Chains A and B, each alone.
Chain A
């Protein structure tokens, strides 16, 4: 009856509060991106293209960029196939003992301190090999990547209505074909998002690489059994220095890392079309 009643007021209040809270949540993110741009762009302009191609002595972070790509790529080819299979298994047999154990383990692994992963890999790979290596770094990143991929795969597939499975079985399609050729393609947006998030996460990891990859900044990587560097690892080292020029370089490296992340993430995320059900 009244044009301005209590229910409408409550509704408005709710909208305003959620709006403010969402904004508060986004502000730190925007602030990070803004600060990294402002602080990082100066050093990159000053040093020029050498910054992304040169070695540390030349004032560049080229070997670290190469290292990050190598580590991320190796970690993906080690981790994604296994994790995808695990995710499918957890989706297919959610009530079996192994299925339940897998789900529980995945949730634990998601929260596992990454530095411990690094120490574990140091003990089983680095010390027996007698050297830091790209493969050891990639292996610890793969361990961190796997639970994300598996959980996202399982969750994405669980969202697909059961009727699709029934229809597939009704047509006499085998279980394996149903999962891989029908359910997985329908759920691809969720699965690929999971892949991207986990790849982005490991590309920015520092702790698991501390005692495994070793670091290589004066020359480009030579083979996967030799040490490599990584951008986050280099940033971590540079910020501990008292030198302002090292700090400037760390900001520049942060901007490069951010650009790589945005450059890979945004186009891929936008191009993955949702399958309309």
Chain B
């Protein structure tokens, strides 16, 4: 027994050591590895792009890394990643830090999604929510599903006399930031009493009608288990989990459901508010929400990429710069076609994609 054990241990050790040494001295292949780090909101989409792109260009390996928008900006600043990803536009303070590296950062939208309101009310498959009703539910004023204000938005629908359970995020989240910014934008009471941010004090929690879930998967899981609950989440989760989405009242008073068309419509209406890539910090989330028009969904969510202009080859080598340019050019053209989009994400209208293309073309190849 004793001798046998030692033999096995010796063999295992030698095998592992040999494997490690082999990997360590393995001749480095011609492959170029490009890393993209940050926002998890576009994860599904970015992974789909990587899979598709890998099929047509196998010599370039694209590595996806999550960690959130904050981590994406930090890793981009430290040069740990080639392509940063961030949901909220970079603030002026961080932008200045980028500029201090002696290179120029470029920020542009890569794809859009939407924050949607989903609900679990047996028997109800269509729900209209006016701006005031939406705020009323999430601030806690509206306690029951058959409240006259909800009934007024939904004539002819038999609403149950059941308490509304509001499900929200427990972790700091860009989704919460977008949703609460929208609520602040449409309602001054919400703006004064709750405000906007990655985390907020939910008034419904104090009333005992709030539940919190970790991440979008957590929120969706609670919604599915809890009858008569309502939540906000990302469109891609609502689609993948077959959740109903509410039609929200937009700026011009129309009830609009989140679909490809209504999201694209909203993006076109606000595209003039997207700054040039060299001045990414000038982007203001509020100007991109609550778009006018009779078919614009009010809560669209942009997500951005960050790349360096690579002045004097500061950040990217020759091979890297070429690989990044080719990949991003593909993302902003073919990548925006329906066959390369993941469920729940909407391609950029051409004029918005061109903002990014211009930035990509300006990347210098040393």
Contact = CB atoms under 8 A, between A and B. Distances in A.
Q: For chain B, what secondary structure do more than half of its interface residues adopt (helix, strand, loop), or is it mixed?
A: helix
B338 interface: no
Nearest to A219: B61
B10 interface: no
Given A69-B19, A223-B26, A239-B217, A244 B240 contact: yes
B2 interface: yes
Given A132-B80, A239-B217, A242-B236, A219 B33 contact: yes
Interface string B178-219: 000000000000000000000000000000000000011100
User: What 5 A-B pairs have minimum CB-CB distances, sorted nearest first?
Assistant: A218-B61, A57-B54, A271-B5, A242-B236, A242-B240
Given A130-B80, A214-B35, A219-B61, A243 B342 contact: yes
Interface string B9-51: 0000000110110011110110101010000100110010011
A221 B31 CA distance: 12
Given A126-B80, A220-B23, A271-B4, 12 more contacts: A73-B20, A130-B79, A131-B80, A216-B33, A218-B63, A219-B31, A222-B26, A241-B43, A242-B217, A242-B234, A243-B44, A246-B44
A214 B50 contact: no
Contacts of A221: 23
A123 to B, nearest CB: 10
A210 B62 CA distance: 18
6 contacts: A57-B55, A214-B80, A222-B29, A242-B216, A242-B239, A271-B4
A237 B1 contact: no
Interface in A229-277: 236-237, 239-244, 246, 267, 271-273
A273 B80 contact: no
Interface stretch (B65-73, B140-148, B295-303, B324-332): B65-73
B70 to A, nearest CB: 11
A269 to B, nearest CB: 11
A190 interface: no
A66 B20 CA distance: 9
B254 interface: no
A273 B65 CA distance: 44
Nearest to B19: A69
A149 to B, nearest CB: 17
Q: Which of B23, B216, B234 has the most CB of A within 10 A?
A: B23
B26 A241 contact: no
B44 A241 contact: yes
Contacts of A70: 20, 23
A240 B23 contact: no
Given A73-B16, A271-B5, A218 B23 contact: no
Contacts of B152: none
A87 interface: no
Interface of B: 1-2, 4-5, 8, 16-17, 19-20, 23-26, 28-29, 31, 33, 35, 40, 43-44, 47, 50-51, 54-55, 61-67, 71, 75, 78-80, 215-217, 234, 236-237, 239-241, 342-344
A243 B20 contact: no
Contact of B16 (A69, A210, A243): A69
A69, A220, A242, A272 interface centre (most CB from chain B within 10 Å) = A242
B71 A227 contact: no
Contact of B50 (A73, A218, A272): A218
A79 interface: no
Contact of A240 (B8, B31, B71, B217): B217
Contacts of A244: 240
B65 A214 contact: yes
Contacts of A131: 80
A177 B17 CA distance: 29
Interface in A18-64: 57
A239 to B, nearest CB: 7
A215 B62 CA distance: 11
A210 B17 CA distance: 25
A211 B342 CA distance: 27
Given A216-B63, A219-B61, A66 B23 contact: yes
Given A218-B61, A237-B66, A243 B240 contact: yes
A105 interface: no
A43 to B, nearest CB: 16
A173 interface: no
Nearest to B25: A223
A240 B38 CA distance: 13
A130 B8 CA distance: 40
Contacts of B20: 69-70, 73-74
A272 B4 CA distance: 11
A217 interface: yes
B33 A241 contact: no
Contacts of B54: 57, 218
Contacts of A78: none
Interface string A111-132: 0000000000000001100111
